[in-house]
A = this chain, B = another copy of it.
Amino acid sequence: MSPAHARDPRGSDSVRSQRIAGILRDEILAGDLTPGTWLRQDELAARLGASRIPVREALRILESEGLTESFPNRGARVPVLSLEDVNTYYRMRERLEPLTLTESLSRLTDQHLARLERIQDEIENQSDINRFLLLDRDFHMTSYSACPSGHLLAMTERLWNSTQHYRRAFMVLADPDRATIVNAEHRLILDAVRRRDPEDCERYLTGHIRRTRVELTAHPELFVDSDDASGRPGLLSGRAGFRRGG
């Protein structure tokens, strides 16, 4: 029979808190839960069919991934990032991800290369924003996937997750022919990977991230008006108008 551990050897999402964390992670990355949204334990417990205990655990798990932040006696919310925050995250990416890529580089198989090519082909042959976000992430993560260090990979993923929302917000108002540049950069990275050239990998990946940062942070309107970036629930943030519904 082997009831559970055969289907799930890691036991990772047979635990309720992990399942809940997974659901919330998807909702945050998909943009359903936007920065500033307060995550009420009661509400989540009711919505996801569990008690508040696994919800609390899930919020801690997400916090360790940078997807939520919590304040004592006040609750958890999706972090609101300032322009400076995102700028810093991107500078961190510029430094770290070239390392992730070069660590992965020598271990990438031909299957990986084929997959990278396939992903980039699809990126160039469609125009849906959400699809692009998924494919772009997939492109880079695939190039990192042979990195032997789980710590470095986790850190890289964390930096991606933390800035995901602002990437999406940026896409909706981006210059249409921006895609041309992105594709050129991706092609250069792909070529450097194929040649197993760590130096060029670093060069083009750093440039790719840096140019994105410069473009992204040229749009201050993507970020909060700096009036309610504090950690307090406040009057109008979150689910205002919902309490005392009658």
Contacts and interface: CB of A to CB of B under 8 A. Distances in A.
A151 B90 CA distance: 12
A125 interface: no
Contacts of A11: 72-73
Interface string A43-60: 000000000010011001
B18 A89 contact: no
Nearest to A59: B60
Interface of A, helix, strand, loop or mixed by DSSP: helix
A219 interface: no
Contacts of A73: 11, 15
Interface size class of A (residues with CB under 8 A): 20 to 34
Interface in A16-58: 18, 53, 56-57
A241 to B, nearest CB: 28
Given A57-B60, A64-B63, A88 B72 contact: no
Nearest to A63: B64
Nearest to A148: B84
B99 A95 contact: yes
Contact of A12 (B64, B72, B88, B162): B72
A118 to B, nearest CB: 29
A148 to B, nearest CB: 7
A103 interface: yes
Given A60-B60, A73-B15, A91 B85 contact: no
Interface string A147-174: 0110110010000001000000000000
Contacts of A15: 72-73
Nearest to A153: B88
B57 A88 contact: no
Contacts of A57: 56, 60
Contacts of A61: 60
Contact of A152 (B14, B88, B99): B88
A38 to B, nearest CB: 17
A155 B60 contact: no
A184 interface: no
A242 to B, nearest CB: 26
Interface of A: 10-12, 14-15, 18, 53, 56-57, 60-61, 63-64, 72-73, 84-85, 88-89, 91-92, 95-96, 99, 103, 148-149, 151-152, 155, 162
